[in-house]
Chain A
């Protein structure tokens, strides 16, 4: 199972952000997309998450063209992809309700209504899936708490659990630890390992090269509107094929 962008171009107004970028994410691997801030990592992830269609180029899911597919089919593709943003973006509801959101939207309206009524009268609480996902990020005990009462790190871990709960094939992470302390960062990275071990393909955009080195199986370097290099993590960091990659790794500002 592969999510793939091929020669995609995308821009805002007249400014090109991505030019003929090609990249794939496979199940059971962690791909780090590294590059300086503002280079287009988030834009690339949004294209892969099927938020927007590229101006040119193709996005395929399991070799099927996504944007020429009927809307219903595209929704099915979208529902195999999860995404976690830099901000936790939790709903104003309990942790459990946040984590089970993805499961609920996959139900028919009739089932949703039936579960809501059952939940209201207290005959069904639907905590099973939420608890499993929260266990993965070490926040099982927070299920009944109001999401607004969580710390920033906890909120981000709940956001991660929320994306894991519906068992996506591919998980896209947009700088998920950039605002977190080392402990919560370690919690997220541990959850990334667990997701990969469950067979989920993870793409993580980060400007933290140490993090990329720690957790990624492959690394893609995004510089100057294009992916200039993709390869195994060890090879890219120790023997980069592109001179600009070496300069970026060495901390020289080339963007």
Chain B
């Protein structure tokens, strides 16, 4: 019944938000999470390769820190980042309180242990003889690292998805450092889908919260599908 075209205008008419408002919170959610996870991946892959294949003093401690970070309470991360960017903090001069950049920082801190930990498991599972083959054929250290990443691409795709899932579903820390702000023009400044859902639910607007929740789930599904598609190539790009 709901799919009958004659009902669509009625549904749109009853939609409880302005479209530009919804679009802006989707944009902020995606922008903050994708930038944070991209930065996190760029940071995590070299760390995973280093920890996975280099012997150095304190390697066990680093591994433990990564594993601990995977379960780190997000509210604490938000508090620490808020202190860091506040007037009293080391980054106070940058005026990042209640900005998207501060939200990216907190999501980066939350996603990085997840991306690093899962990537570490993925690259560690690449067989030594495959790495030896790349070296034996004249590969440099960078070539061997590239082969390792290509061989571990399914696991790394999982790591990126796990990091993205952690970032986009985050409420506590982005609420603390972002402030859940909508501008006077009705566009989101630092409001994300999760903080909007939290706000609507608190105000008893369960229907609108559910609609935003559905939008969030669809977004996560789409991003997952894209990453899985990218990660499941035939490995032809060595």
Please determine whether A116 and B237 come into contact, CB atoms closer than 8 angstroms.
yes
With A92-B150, A105-B140 as known contacts, state yes or no: A85 contacts B129, CB within 8 Å: yes
- A162: interface (CB < 8 Å): yes
Given the complex, which residues of A lie within 8 Å of B138, measured CB to CB?
A: 75, 78-79, 102, 105-106, 166
Given the complex, which residues of B lie within 8 Å of A87, measured CB to CB?
A: 129
* B127, B130, B136, B143 pick with most chain A CB within 10 angstroms: B136
- A35: interface (CB < 8 Å): no
Q: Considering only CB atoms and an 8 Å cut-off, how many residues of chain B contact the other chain?
A: 21
Please determine whether B133 and A85 come into contact, CB atoms closer than 8 angstroms.
yes
* Closest chain B residue, CB of each to CB of A92: B235
Given the complex, which residues of A lie within 8 Å of B137, measured CB to CB?
A: 82-83, 101-102, 105, 162-163, 166
Given the complex, which residues of A lie within 8 Å of B236, measured CB to CB?
A: 93-94, 97
Partner of B151 from the list A92, A104, A162 (CB cut-off 8 Å) is A92
* Closest chain B residue, CB of each to CB of A100: B238
* Among all A-B residue pairs, the 4 with the closest Cβ atoms: A79-B138, A102-B137, A83-B136, A89-B133
Please determine whether B135 and A51 come into contact, CB atoms closer than 8 angstroms.
yes
Please determine whether B129 and A104 come into contact, CB atoms closer than 8 angstroms.
no
Q: Considering only CB atoms and an 8 Å cut-off, how many residues of chain A contact the other chain?
A: 29
Partner of B143 from the list A81, A105, A146 (CB cut-off 8 Å) is A105
- A49: interface (CB < 8 Å): yes
Please determine whether B234 and A82 come into contact, CB atoms closer than 8 angstroms.
no
User: Can you name 15 A-B pairs with beta carbons within 8 Å?
Assistant: A51-B136, A85-B129, A89-B127, A89-B133, A91-B134, A91-B151, A91-B238, A93-B238, A97-B236, A97-B238, A101-B137, A102-B138, A162-B133, A166-B137, A166-B138
- A159: interface (CB < 8 Å): yes
Given the complex, which residues of B lie within 8 Å of A89, measured CB to CB?
A: 127, 129-130, 132-133
From residue 211 to 238 of chain B, which have CB atoms closer than 8 A to chain A?
234-238
A127, B207: Cα distance in complex, Å: 59
Given the complex, which residues of B lie within 8 Å of A101, measured CB to CB?
A: 134, 137, 139, 238
Please determine whether B136 and A82 come into contact, CB atoms closer than 8 angstroms.
yes
- B147: interface (CB < 8 Å): yes
Tell me the smallest distance from the CB of B190 to a CB of chain A, in Å.
38
Please determine whether A51 and B132 come into contact, CB atoms closer than 8 angstroms.
yes
Tell me the smallest distance from the CB of A195 to a CB of chain B, in Å.
15
* A91, A146, A159 pick with most chain B CB within 10 angstroms: A91
A246, B125: Cα distance in complex, Å: 44
Given the complex, which residues of A lie within 8 Å of B130, measured CB to CB?
A: 89-91
**Can you name 12 extra interface pairs (CB under 8 A) apart from A75-B138, A91-B134?**
A81-B136, A85-B133, A85-B136, A90-B133, A91-B133, A91-B151, A91-B238, A93-B238, A94-B236, A97-B236, A97-B238, A105-B134
Given the complex, which residues of B lie within 8 Å of A78, measured CB to CB?
A: 138
* A98, A105, A166 pick with most chain B CB within 10 angstroms: A105
Tell me the smallest distance from the CB of B231 to a CB of chain A, in Å.
12
A75, B132: Cα distance in complex, Å: 15
From residue 118 to 172 of chain B, which have CB atoms closer than 8 A to chain A?
127, 129-130, 132-140, 143, 147, 150-151
With A92-B151, A93-B236, A104-B238 as known contacts, state yes or no: A85 contacts B134, CB within 8 Å: no
Please determine whether B136 and A49 come into contact, CB atoms closer than 8 angstroms.
yes
From residue 84 to 123 of chain A, which have CB atoms closer than 8 A to chain B?
85, 87, 89-94, 97-98, 101-102, 104-106, 116
Tell me the smallest distance from the CB of B147 to a CB of chain A, in Å.
7
Given the complex, which residues of B lie within 8 Å of A102, measured CB to CB?
A: 137-138
Given the complex, which residues of B lie within 8 Å of A97, measured CB to CB?
A: 235-236, 238
Given the complex, which residues of B lie within 8 Å of A90, measured CB to CB?
A: 130, 133
* Closest chain B residue, CB of each to CB of A72: B140
* Closest chain A residue, CB of each to CB of B134: A101
* Closest chain B residue, CB of each to CB of A71: B140
Given the complex, which residues of A lie within 8 Å of B235, measured CB to CB?
A: 91-93, 97
Tell me the smallest distance from the CB of B98 to a CB of chain A, in Å.
41
* Closest chain A residue, CB of each to CB of B237: A116
Please determine whether A105 and B139 come into contact, CB atoms closer than 8 angstroms.
yes
Given the complex, which residues of A lie within 8 Å of B150, measured CB to CB?
A: 91-93
A101, B234: Cα distance in complex, Å: 15
From residue 38 to 52 of chain A, which have CB atoms closer than 8 A to chain B?
49, 51
Given the complex, which residues of A lie within 8 Å of B132, measured CB to CB?
A: 51, 85, 89
